[in-house]
Structure 1
Amino acid sequence: MTTALDRSLGAGLLHHASVLPDRVALTIGRRDYTYEETATVARRWAAALVEAADGRPRRIGVLADRSEVSYLGVAAALFAGAAFVPLNRKFPAARTRTMLARAEVDAVLADAASAARLPELLEGLERRPVVLLPDTARTEVPGLDGYRVLDAADLARFAPSAELPGPGPDDLAYLLFTSGSTGRPKGVPVTHGNVRAFLDANRDRYRLTPDDRLTQTFDQTFDLSVFDLFMAWDNGARVCSMDPIELLAPFRYLERNGITVWFSVPSVAAVLRRRGVLRPGTMPTLRWSLFCGEALPRAIAEDWQAAAPHSTVENLYGPTELTIACTAYRWDPATGPAECVHDNVPIGRPYPGLDAVVVDERLADVPDGEAGELCVAGPQTTPGYWRAPELTARRYFERDGLRYYRTGDLVRYLNGQYVCLGRNDQQVKIGGHRVELGEIEGALRRAGAPEAVALQWPDAQTVTAVVSGTADPTALADACADGLPAYMVPRTVRVVDEMPVNANGKVDRPALIRWLDETASGPRPHEVGDAASGPRPRAVRDAVSEPR
């Protein structure tokens, strides 16, 4: 008989702890955690959370990164019947404090590397959450006077919870905060029903088994991390947490751990390709290669397919508001290149049970083949923004009994699938002409730029391109002049050694704008300066070329 718990996030971990107790559920570095150990420890922490909250807690902050606490803490929150709220110690303190305040967390789990930040992050909160330090002694974290603290010794005295709450499909599984245009993080509440619909669709698509081993390349404040953890645990497989430094040369890691499922943002593959290490046959253990989070360039798909010849390459697409991903495209080396638009791989078709429409500014359907905003309805559509009814009303709408989310992404429906043209705020007007910045980026990539970003800068009538690597800016500008209308040709092409990326590994467009602003009166062409402040600034080479 199916119970509410059977359909909740985390049920797979409990099930496999009973039927496959000695199989490895999680690998962090060289340390393996069996299903039985993972579930037992998480249930022990869950018992502490329930006791500390004097009943079922509502939301639990997890301030940890690629550690036992970060993964088992998520499971503990779910086993306590609460939603987890992932937090990142690398984020600015004011941002994390805002998340804690808006989420009204009942407790915070912190790992040893993050615990020192707690006094600063908790300062000024109206509610005083309970603090759990599973791998730290309370004496190592001064400044928590007035808070109830349960450290490693305290938690060891709890018996694992025997009775676990059974959350319903409308109960929250996690609350994720994403960037907001106002500078204030937007809260996206995701229900157990939302995640279960996503996991069900992907269970049927990928048919994972206990012999599969999945990468974990994402920070847990990026919702794609949910795929790795729970697709593994739902199927009795193993998830392997990769250190960010290992992403720069992952081949030995993949071989040593027998990885069969790779999942990352395309930027990770772009770095490998640019460095010349993405060579044919270098990843023979992979059987699935999945990319999501930003556009997947054709050249990346082709080179990755050659490097992982036994794997199927897929491009996934979806905003957080549609629960991790909502469409997928399976790359075919024979037919895929011809189906690319702006030199990017299509985003494919919606998952079963989802309904997609393409609309204009008035929310009227546009004919197939014409550009419009993608909107999606179905069981993966989240309830709305966290305590933000006005924002929810702007981004969700009702039609024919279905509730659609407006993605803000421009797409076309071609040959039975969707191709993404970029954000609707990346369709700009130059001299009265509508210009899709993604089309300019595609022209630059076809001309040889490994990565290319087109920006409306320094004013609304000017396009500036930024490319990475050793590309010749003059040749790129000439190629654009040969293949694009004059009003679409970038005024200048600048070269950076590597693109700045944000915390989720995506190309950081705002950081590029800041860099352009700062270098406008700074280093001259071919001088070496510093990239604008961003998540991972790097040295840049400022090469400027005026197209002919």
Structure 2
Amino acid sequence: MTKAENPSSRPIDHLARCGAPDAAALLIGGAGLTFAELDAGVGRLAAWLLAQAGAPGERVASWSAKTRLACLMPLAAARAGLIHVPVNPLLKGPQVAHILADSGAKLLLTNSARAEMLGEGLPADCAVQDLKIGEAVIDSCGDGLAPSSAAPDDLAAILYTSGSTGRPKGVMLSHANLWLGAESVASYLELAPEDRVLAVLPLSFDYGQNQLLSSWYAGAAVAPLDYLTPRDIVKAVARHRATTLAGVPPLWVQLVESDWPVEAAAYLKRLTNSGGALTPSLIDAMRATFPNADIYPMYGLTEAFRSTYLEPKLVLHHPTSMGRAIPHAEILVCRPDGTITADEEPGELVHCGPLVAKGYWRDAERTAERFKAAPRASQYGGTAVWSGDTVRRDANGLLYFVGRDDAMIKTAGNRVSPTEVEDVAVASGLIYEAVAFGVPDARLGAAIILIVRGKSGVADEAGLSAHLRQNLPNFMQPQTIEWRDTLPRNPNGKLDRVAIAADWAQAVAA
């Protein structure tokens, strides 16, 4: 089989020149930035960053809200030949100290309050600069660096995972990873220069950063938003006349529960989701709330950015599907020996192609566990990401998530996917969110615990139990179902499964 050629890419900082010079690129503050101003600001910030960091190849970190500087950093660091390390503003001092030390960052851009949180945790060789200085550089009249000539495989960023199941690990992303990811998303979302993208997700999150990059690739404008309540998002959609909004399932739950003026909801014409599956009941609520919007369910992992999306025309009749491969991705479903599964046969999702990251920063052992040779059937070959996620493929080529091997509950001699239990529970229409996990049990090996959040705070225990008995076999029935008003989330907005299980265990012990 002839191996597929990787598509061509450009240095990521060239995105600052993709739009018309006088078109809006960034809607922030009073006036925002045009593409011409974006390009000039990136050049000036790049020159200043290089002077502060000392030499190309150094790591520079940013830890802030969605300021202009935070939005320009992915392009400015790349233009200077530096490696950007965006830090989630929700993280605390010890977590940030680990990221700075692990990445070997030479420079941290943040405000004084956050710098004080680090205390003695700040690495000795990491300098700190106040965000206000960087903002002033953007507005200065100084000369900036010209667009870079970086090679596609040159390292551009290190994105750290949230660390909910262990210490954060840094995923290395090249210029090609970022450029082709931007091109891919802009292509299948059909973004256009007239679009306005409301960016509510953390810019330290690959999905959040791509809100900027894919919009600029399309010549569209981005409106970054730090929000405290869903109501802030409603107001921002109306203020900017936003056409595009990306979210994770817990956020969509909050948004469909919000009061939307008809005019504001009508501005939105595309809704995208990743970081967890949309349930059929949530999709129904989204369709009712945003009648003019197409819904794009997506699946991704930081190690390969994004793998699949479901076309909006398929959402109604295939609401639980992950869809098919995005442009520039090859998705295979494999047996343990690397051969391709038959239709409907579960197997491991393997992502091949130019969106595959360069591995984990300074962690050869964990890199070798996840980044392995592509299956022989791959058209791209090279290195692939073996996701650890079990999926199945139907006769139409649509993929469906089954579960993660390391999360399977082994009960009464059966392997149970928490996702399957959760999906059936949510399908009852009585709850919005559910988390299932196993706990040791002398008789079963593991008992299933189900934690749920009901609609509008209502706990219909009898109704949910009856629905589960009707739709799940005996060995998949939860031993315990508990209702919560709220469920904890990790810094990326996803349900924090580790914290939920730990809270339950602590309550039982007490």
TM-score between the two structures when normalised by the length of structure 1: 0.83
> Is residue 455 from structure 1 mapped to residue 456 from structure 2 by the alignment?
no
> Is residue 310 from structure 1 mapped to residue 292 from structure 2 by the alignment?
yes
Q: Structure 2 vs 1, CA of residues 174 and 15 (structure 1 numbering), >3 Å: closer, same or farther?
A: same
Q: After TM superposition, where is structure 1 displaced by more than 6 Å over at least 4 residues in a row?
A: 151-158, 278-281
> Is residue 293 from structure 1 mapped to residue 296 from structure 2 by the alignment?
no
Match of 2:362 among 364, 387, 401: 387
After TM superposition, the structure 1 = structure 2 runs for residues 129-528 of structure 1, keeping only pairs within 5 Å, are 129-135=126-132, 159-179=142-162, 183-248=166-231, 250-273=233-256, 275=257, 277=259, 283-323=265-305, 325-332=306-313, 336-340=315-319, 345-398=320-373, 399-400=375-376, 401-414=381-394, 415-447=396-428, 448-457=430-439, 459=441, 460-469=445-454, 470-522=458-510
Q: Structure 2 vs 1, CA of residues 417 and 13 (structure 1 numbering), >3 Å: closer, same or farther?
A: same
Q: CA deviation at 1:208?
A: 2.0
Q: CA deviation at 1:11?
A: 0.9
Q: Structure 2 vs 1, CA of residues 410 and 513 (structure 1 numbering), >3 Å: closer, same or farther?
A: same
> SS of 2:173's equivalent?
strand
Q: Structure 2 vs 1, CA of residues 356 and 235 (structure 1 numbering), >3 Å: closer, same or farther?
A: closer
> SS of 1:10's equivalent?
helix
The amino acid of 1:135's aligned partner reads K
Contact 2:9 / 2:176 at 8 angstroms: preserved in 1? Answer: no
Contact 2:266 / 2:292 at 8 angstroms: preserved in 1? Answer: yes
Contact 2:248 / 2:273 at 8 angstroms: preserved in 1? Answer: yes
For 1:278 and 1:371, how far apart are their aligned partners in 2?
41
Q: CA deviation at 1:186?
A: 1.1
Q: Which moved more, 1:210-219 or 1:243-252?
A: 243-252
For 2:46 and 2:211, how far apart are their aligned partners in 1?
22
Contact 1:28 / 1:66 at 8 angstroms: preserved in 2? Answer: no
Contact 2:69 / 2:135 at 8 angstroms: preserved in 1? Answer: no
For 1:15 and 1:178, how far apart are their aligned partners in 2?
29
Q: CA deviation at 1:365?
A: 3.0
The amino acid of 1:56's aligned partner reads P
For 1:404 and 1:454, how far apart are their aligned partners in 2?
30
User: CA-to-partner distance for each residue in 1:247-304, whole Å, 9 max, x for gaps?
Assistant: 346333212211011111121111233x364798861011211111111111122221
Q: CA deviation at 1:113?
A: 5.4
> SS of 2:343's equivalent?
coil
> SS of 2:431's equivalent?
coil
> SS of 1:520's equivalent?
helix
Q: Cα RMSD over matched residues?
A: 2.6
For 2:473 and 2:302, how far apart are their aligned partners in 1?
36
2:3 corresponds in structure 1 to: none
For 1:182 and 1:416, how far apart are their aligned partners in 2?
32
Q: Which moved more, 1:438-447 or 1:289-298?
A: 438-447
User: CA-to-partner distance for each residue in 1:2-28, whole Å, 9 max, x for gaps?
Assistant: xxx981212121343xx423x322223
Contact 2:43 / 2:146 at 8 angstroms: preserved in 1? Answer: no
Identity of aligned residues (%): 28
Q: Structure 2 vs 1, CA of residues 198 and 367 (structure 1 numbering), >3 Å: closer, same or farther?
A: same
The amino acid of 1:101's aligned partner reads A
2:41 corresponds in structure 1 to: 41
Q: Which moved more, 1:391-400 or 1:292-301?
A: 391-400
Q: CA deviation at 1:153?
A: 6.9
For 1:500 and 1:248, how far apart are their aligned partners in 2?
20
For 2:470 and 2:58, how far apart are their aligned partners in 1?
59
Show structure 1 runs of 5+ residues with no match.
137-150, 523-548
Q: CA deviation at 1:504?
A: 0.5
Q: Structure 2 vs 1, CA of residues 389 and 421 (structure 1 numbering), >3 Å: closer, same or farther?
A: same
The amino acid of 1:133's aligned partner reads D
Q: Structure 2 vs 1, CA of residues 405 and 153 (structure 1 numbering), >3 Å: closer, same or farther?
A: closer
Q: CA deviation at 1:155?
A: 8.1
> SS of 1:347's equivalent?
strand
Q: Which moved more, 1:108-117 or 1:370-379?
A: 108-117
Q: Which moved more, 1:180-189 or 1:215-224?
A: 180-189
Q: Structure 2 vs 1, CA of residues 30 and 303 (structure 1 numbering), >3 Å: closer, same or farther?
A: farther
Instruction: Give the count of matched residue pairs.
Output: 490
Contact 2:66 / 2:224 at 8 angstroms: preserved in 1? Answer: yes
Contact 1:57 / 1:106 at 8 angstroms: preserved in 2? Answer: no
Q: Structure 2 vs 1, CA of residues 433 and 279 (structure 1 numbering), >3 Å: closer, same or farther?
A: farther
Q: Which moved more, 1:59-68 or 1:488-497?
A: 59-68
Q: Which moved more, 1:185-194 or 1:24-33?
A: 24-33
Q: Which moved more, 1:83-92 or 1:499-508?
A: 83-92
Q: CA deviation at 1:120?
A: 4.0
Contact 1:93 / 1:120 at 8 angstroms: preserved in 2? Answer: no
After TM superposition, the structure 1 = structure 2 runs for residues 91-102 of structure 1, keeping only pairs within 5 Å, are 91-102=91-102
Q: Which moved more, 1:280-289 or 1:507-516?
A: 280-289
> SS of 2:242's equivalent?
coil
Contact 2:94 / 2:118 at 8 angstroms: preserved in 1? Answer: no
User: CA-to-partner distance for each residue in 1:133-161, whole Å, 9 max, x for gaps?
Assistant: 2416xxxxxxxxxxxxxx77788777232
